[in-house]
Structure 1
């Protein structure tokens, strides 16, 4: 799996999750439980991961949704 987005923004994570679900793209939100370690203050970013085979389609979905600036490394 490759990292698609890294963010602390819970609303953005929810939005991306909905986009991926609607497109039928499997994803994983990594570091979701790290808030326990950082005291639930949201300092540690969460990462949305997708399979390499789905990466291009997932990126296109984010571009089409107007959040291309959130793509990691892009």
Structure 2
């Protein structure tokens, strides 16, 4: 899987999860449980990972939804 987004904003993560789920793109949110380790300070960012063969489709989807600024550069 390839990193698509890295953020510590739970609203952005939730929105991206909904977009990807609705588009049928398989994804994984890495580091979700790290907040317990860091003490819930929101310092550590979560990563949204997608399958490599759907990366371009996922980037286009996020751009069309207005969250292109959240996309990680390759």
Report SS of the residue matched to 2:38.
Answer: coil
Structure 2 matches for 1:1-74, cutoff 5 A?
Answer: 1-73=1-73
- TM-aligned CA deviation for residue 41 of structure 1: 1.1
| TM-superposed deviation, 1:37 | 0.8
Q: TM-score, normalised by structure 1?
A: 0.97
Q: Tell me how large the CA RMSD over aligned residues is.
A: 0.9
Paired positions, count? 74
Given the two structures, how large is their TM-score scaled by the length of structure 2?
A: 0.97
Structure 1: which 5+ residue stretches go unaligned?
A: none
Unaligned stretches of 5+ in structure 2? Answer: none
